[in-house]
Amino acid sequence: MSENPILENQVALITGASRGIGRAIADTLAGAGCNVAVTSRNQQECEAAAAEIAANHGVRTIGLRADVSRPESIRELFRHLGEWSGSRLDVLVCNAGYPMRPEIWNTPLHASPADRIQSWYTEVFGTDALGSVYCTFEALPLMKKRRSGKIVYISSTPALEGYQGGPYTMAKAAVLGLMRDVAREYGKDNIRANALALGNIQTPATFEQLDEASRESLAAEAPLRRWGTPGEVGKAALFLASDLSSFITGQVLVVDGGTVRR
């Protein structure tokens, strides 16, 4: 059982949660007593993650396959979620993102292949931005009915300051625009929306693809002189998903060791 059950008996849906940052968020919320639905594109990985979380934290879990870039997949996801939770959803964490592809992330616009620009931008946007739209659209009726809900969007520091990988920057900036609109429109329904802007977080998708010199260089960017961990992102998500942040909505919490200061 949780030592600090601040989300006891609540229900959370975390997208992209079978591994990495999403998995850490699911673990952290479960550790606070929350029942969690784990989603990703791989059903086997979802079910394995859900089973392990249930065993570790003694909460109810379910693993559900979903592709956030496809609205019909999200409709089906929420149908299964409603059956499992009794149509209850207290927390939505929009974490699923387009896979980190170095050729997109490291290519400035002028150097982008002309025949790839459309696919690069629309595919990343479809997962990161529209995926958050589809999930929010399905979550809002459940939250409005109970007049309560917390939505946490996962963005990144390039959305605040820019970077050379335009498709990711643009998509993550769009997520912040969505968050602000949701916060403004649905505060009257006691639905709060906030975002995490992540810096260099140590995951297989980032850290393990770099050589030692690159790892050290990126760590040195932050005043704390290190990479962040998925567990630290989980703690920040828990803050926004709980009543610890009960009078906070429409805000961006930067989790990057102090690189971006504003």
The 10s digit of each residue's pLDDT in 92-114 is: 999 999 998 989 999 999 999 99
Distance CA 198, CA 202 (A): 11
Domain of residue 154 covers 11-255
* 8 A C-beta contact, residue 174 and residue 182: no
Q: What type of residue is 259?
A: T
Task: Provide the pLDDT for residue 3.
Answer: 63
CATH of the domain at 205: 3.40.50.720
Task: Provide the pLDDT for residue 2.
Answer: 59
Which member of 98, 134, 153, 168 is catalytic?
168
Distance CA 73, CA 69 (A): 8
Has residue 123 got a pLDDT over 90? yes
Has residue 1 got a pLDDT over 70? no
* 8 A C-beta contact, residue 36 and residue 12: yes
How many folded domains does the chain comprise? 1
**Does the active-site annotation cover 168?**
yes
Give the residue-averaged pLDDT of 187-213. Answer: 90
pLDDT in tens, 147-156: 999 999 999 9
Assigned domain for 260 exists? no
Assigned domain for 6 exists? no
